[in-house]
Amino acid sequence: MAAGYTPMIQQYLAVKADYQDAFLFFRLGDFYEMFFDDAIKASQELEITLTSREGGTEDRIPMCGVPYHSAANYIEQLIGKGYKVAICEQTEDPKQAKGVVRREVVQLITPGTVMEGKGLSDKENNYIASITAFDDQTYGFAYNDISTGESKVTLLSNNFEEVLNEIAVLSAKEVVVRSDFAGDLQKKMRERDVLAISFEDNSSIEMNFAGLLEDLNQDKLKQTAARLFNYLYRSQKRSLDHLQPVTTYQIHQYMKIDYYSKRNLELTETIRSKGKKGSLLWLLDETMTAMGGRMLKHWIDRPLINKEEIVHRHTLVDVLINHYFERQELREKMKEVYDLERLAGRVAFGNVNARDLVQLKRSLLQVPFLKQILQNMQNQEMIQIAESLDPCEEVTDLLEQAIVENPPLSLKEGNIIRDGYHEQLDQYRDASRNGKTWIAQLEREEREKTGIKSLKVGYNRVFGYYIEVTRANLHLLQEGQYERKQTLTNAERFITPELKEKEALILQAEEKCGELEYELFTEIREIVKEQIPRLQALAKAVSELDVLQCFAQVSEERRYVKPKFSDERRVVIKDGRHPVVEKVLNSQEYVPNDCFMDGDREVLLITGPNMSGKSTYMRQIALTAILAQIGCYVPAEEAVLPIFDQVFTRIGAADDLISGQSTFMVEMLEARNAIVNATQNSLILFDEIGRGTSTYDGMALAQAIIEYIHTRIGAKTLFSTHYHELTVLEEELSKLKNIHVSAIEHNGKVVFLHKIKEGPADKSYGIHVAQLAELPPELIDRANEILTALEQPDIQAIPRKSEAHVIQAAPAKPDTVVEQPAQLSFFDEPAEKKKTDLSSKEKRVLDKIKEIDLLDVTPLQAINLLYELHKKLK
């Protein structure tokens, strides 16, 4: 600590030393002040004025500040940018302080520990995770949402990509690791949108959370969860009684959808806008509660692979579809259910207010209605759900008796507790109310006695109650009638002994009334806190019911069907649709398509022009499978599906600018991820693999990938391509079939039919698509001319039009021979030698043809022979 600083600045520096990675909001009176580098950086980030102050040294100290009553908005801005904020409050009454007022940090707010405000989305969890690297190359992974109390932990393999995938699936905002955690791995986490990386070296199990780890049976799991809890308790410095016992999970218990596939399929956000609209989540979200919305997102992120659990969800959705009126009643009642999970968290955290408790009461009052509606369906499974809904009558009764219906936002204003709830409080209120009645009566009496109609009895904090008379009426007062207290420009203020006596009674009653109300509210909060486990269990049940009714609502509105599951790994989709595209098109006609795959059709090779719908078709197959495995109906007339363990996609092309990977490298990495991890029970979607490199390289890679998946993996695969040469693979690979998206030419223009048909596409229609994009007409004409020339085998060169004559090229001279090699050679050879070699090649080809016995050649051998001879001539 630098010598010479004032005691207050020395205190600031001492506190700041423990929070080097956070902005320190240092309370000084009505402001939170920041000094030194914090002030410079905060003034830039928050766009507030940077000033300076004396600090005891020759140089002035940089300083900026924000009013304490509006600090929440500034804190949210900093947290949203990935910073941490340490709140340092005055913990001593300045009037009683001997020297500098005692101050200490009461809470550290970080991106992963936000409890309220705009930074906390109603329908999204706000997860903080912890990672522990073990010597056997495994990773412990735990996560928690402090706003709801949910906590889970798992062990992951020695592949850090699995850790990154979990971070991405959870959209974890903050990750806690040891201080010596590998720097390159920290960099990878930041590339996956982790806002903050925090450090906690203590992984021992402390008494305050030991009970939360009782169900964990491995030391690795306990150590990982303990690291996270140690960080939470150290940073939050308050009760976390709402934290739920930690449960274990295994990633192989769910359909695995990696980060790239989740992005490519636009499950929870779109690729272009990064927003919810246009995603599968947007399509499905007919939930009526915030906690139901969060559970829907969780189900989409983790589809089931247990057939029994999936069928159970479908059964419940079926019941809700068949009970339309009861379902609508459920939706109406759920509108009145607030966020029970986060309300319980605020109760435990100590930042709940009276309005929050009224919301809790109103939510609990809906539970008996929900139970009755479910029982009215007369279905055994719905009756079981009804029985699991705990209305928590004790909490409802307490809040009904204790809290007024429309309380103020602040707990210090009073008027929170109902009359009749507490006898002493009623006595204070009576004294206060009667005193004020007496004041009003006094004002009337004094007006009559003096004849001064403008006389009034007023109050201010400095002088208390007073009688005010204007100067014009002072002559109407008798000498000594009142005791003069204050002289104003246009009036005089007086007091009387009787008025001061009543003032003491009224103010004492009001002061004690406010203190007692706050004490009573705190007691009520503690009673509610004891019921948090019941409230959390109720929240989970209501959330699941909300998601199931949401599935029923969407399925009925959009004509979805209940899928069946095939143990023979058959895919039979009749008139399937892309759910999101269908909704976006609204009234426009969506063209449905079939999909059939079985043991003899493992790989579908899809050809067809750009913009014809190949990618949409591939995505709709994956989305149909995901919808089925989260428990929803699917967009088709009929659907039979296997249960997929994983979905891999490579759709779209974009450079990974953050990690510096090119389009082609990203393509290869995503392809590798699928090829290395896919099983026979996986679904693979590959769109235009190989287009990011040269034609021959790309074609060779595409064919090799198809062959590898077909022969070595056996996963159900949809592979779209512009390499029409690959369609011959149908003759070589027994389980590969060609299909194409059809298009026709009409009046020289292409018309996309968006219909999937058997066999390969006959044309690519690339120039027609360019014409649709309204490229210049002369450019389109020239492209057609070049295409015609390329398609003529006897034309060896395509003359380039001169720049001066774009529409009509100058004719070549009669004695001029224009030659261009079809492909550039790496090695220059003399022209004469080339001519001689060409002649000898032709001779050898003719000799080969003469040797062929045409009667002893199969059609396939003839095609292969023709291909070989053609290659020699070229």
Provide the annotated binding site: 608-615
Question: Exposure string (b/e) for 246-283, b if CB count within 10 Å is 16 or more?
Answer: beeeebeebbbbbbbbbbbbbbbbbeeeeebebbbbbb
Q: How far is CA 50 from the centre of its chain?
A: 35
Tokens linked to 669: 């990495």
Q: Return the HEC string of 833-854.
A: HHHHHHHHHHHHHHHHHHHCCH
What is the rounded CA–CA span in Å between residue 34 and residue 44? 13
Q: How far apart are the first and last CA of the chain?
A: 82
Tokens linked to 682: 């996986």
Q: Is residue 321 within 8 Å of residue 552, measured between CB atoms? A: yes
Residue 688 zone, left/alpha/beta (φ > 0; ψ -120 to 50; rest): left
SS3 label, residue 547: helix
Q: Is residue 778 within 8 Å of residue 770, measured between CB atoms? A: no
Q: Return the HEC string of 760-772.
A: CCCCCCHHHHHHH
Question: Strands 749-758 and 736-746: what pairing?
Answer: antiparallel
What is the rounded CA–CA span in Å between residue 343 and residue 112? 18
Which residue type occupies 339? D
Q: Is residue 17 within 8 Å of residue 27, measured between CB atoms? A: no
* Sign (positive or negative) of CA dihedral 181, 186, 192, 196: positive
In 624-691, beta strands by DSSP E: 638-641, 646-650, 683-687
Residue numbers belonging to the annotated binding site for ATP: 608-615
SS3 label, residue 403: strand
Assign 3-state DSSP to the chain and report helix, strand, coil percentages, each to 5.
Answer: 45, 20, 35
What is the rounded CA–CA span in Å between residue 624 and residue 769? 29
User: Distance of CA 703 to CAs 168, 218, 248, 553, 706, Å?
Assistant: 32, 46, 42, 44, 5
Tokens 């150590």 correspond to 223
What is the rounded CA–CA span in Å between residue 518 and residue 527? 14
List beta partners, residue 153.
142, 248
List beta partners, residue 646.
256
Q: In 3D, which of 380, 412, 107 has the Cα closest to residue 232? A: 107
H runs (alpha helix) in 377-496: 380-388, 393-402, 423-450
Q: How far is CA 768 from the centre of its chain?
A: 40
Read off the DSSP letter of residue 814.
T
| Segment (H or E) for 62 | strand 61-67
Tokens 């062959």 correspond to 707
In 747-867, beta strands by DSSP E: 749-758
Tokens linked to 489: 């420009």
What is the rounded CA–CA span in Å between residue 668 and residue 374? 51
Q: How far is CA 130 from the centre of its chain?
A: 19
Q: Is residue 199 within 8 Å of residue 221, measured between CB atoms? A: no
Burial category of 663 from C-beta neighbours within 10 Å (exposed 0-12, middle 13-18, buried 19 and up): middle
How many CA atoms, within 13 angstroms, populate the side-chain half-sphere of residue 497?
2
